[in-house]
Structure 1
Amino acid sequence: MNSEVRPPQINSRRVNLGCSLDESQPLTFRLPRLEHSTLPMAADRGVGWKTLRDAGPVVFMNGAYYLTRREDVLAALCEPNLFSAQLAFQPPGSPVPVLPSAFDPPEHTRYRKILQPYFSPHTLHKSRPMMEGHAAEMIAALACRNECEVMADFARLYPYQVFMDLYGLPLEDRDSVIGWKDAFVAGKSDGHGLLAYFTDAIRQRRQNPG
């Protein structure tokens, strides 16, 4: 979680920020500094998050302040005026805003109300047979191999299999979509490939609705 400009107000009795308390000098503090590109998020997110947490409860990275402790993150989520989601969830260089994550209230609430009906339990229940069908099909294919790596061979692929079917996209494009997403998350792409794909899909759907 990061703030927009100002350093977060953390309880100094609980967190040691290396503050100088000499009253003859202005109050200063030193924060751990990291570079986002050096975190191994693409290779192993667990190691990446551990690196971030081990650096300290508050870390300065790529022009923003990151909170690494659960209680501080929860407190920050209740203060949208101080901690803006626009920097926390909007990837640098993204050609379009990430909806609705990269918005603060009341904009976030407005987008959430628009999207909520499409993801309600009642709506998704109608798609349950399709979801179960994909799960059974993928598991059957894995069973024929006699071995598998569950995360790589099922858990990582299944949500995209369902997504492609749910929105009427060709299942053969699944791996391409995953590749574009992975490159974007890893900071190796600006996301234009993924944006172009969905822009074209929307254009085709508008020309041939139903």
Structure 2
Amino acid sequence: MNKKLKYIWAIAIVLLVNVLVISIVKSGSGSVGALSKLGSQGSEVRSIQTKLQNQGYYKGKIDGIYGTNTRNAVIRFQKVKGLTPDGIAGPKTLKALGLGGSGGLGGFSSNDISLLARVTSAESRGEPYVGQVAVAAVILNRIEHPSFPNTLAGVIYQPGAFSCINDGGINAPVSDSAYKAARDAINGWDPSGGAIYYYNPAKATSGWIFSRPIITVIGDHRFCS
């Protein structure tokens, strides 16, 4: 009798464990790393805010905090796109924003990200983090601009484009923040406001660059159109 009772208890425990495991898997699937919602924070939220702002849905500060204003902007976007207006940036909403795909990195390879990080690190050393992202964003903006080459390598290695290519700064150790800044820029965060040029007025030697309209100032850099 005791053996039979132990056998029944063993089966019951196994069944209970299986139920718990299945519940955990179901609750986690499709949500881990796949959505941002009210209370979320981080680079993905900044990317969402940037995309929404660029499309006219979001007027607030790009601060990486998924607050009420961000949620309401997401709802407006979802309604226009025919998505469930739940205010949650899940896979379908992220894809509609242009943040879907492989990690939201826009098809850039690991070598591309490394190259962008190297230039960002060399060109923005000593600058605040938002300034590092802005430098990376300028490089990406040039790819889309008709006045520049349409590839990352083409933009970076364009003769005279970046001083770090000529002085060897691109070969210096890369800061961890530069890798993060490169990814944030690729994911859509553009603190430069769409700039295609930047300069440090204390170091710039070209008179022409001072004639460019200034969009914003971050740290020691002026970002221009």
Would the TM-score normalized by the shorter structure come out above 0.5?
no
TM-score, normalised on structure 1?
0.26
> Larger radius of gyration, structure 1 or 2?
2
TM-score, normalised on structure 2?
0.25
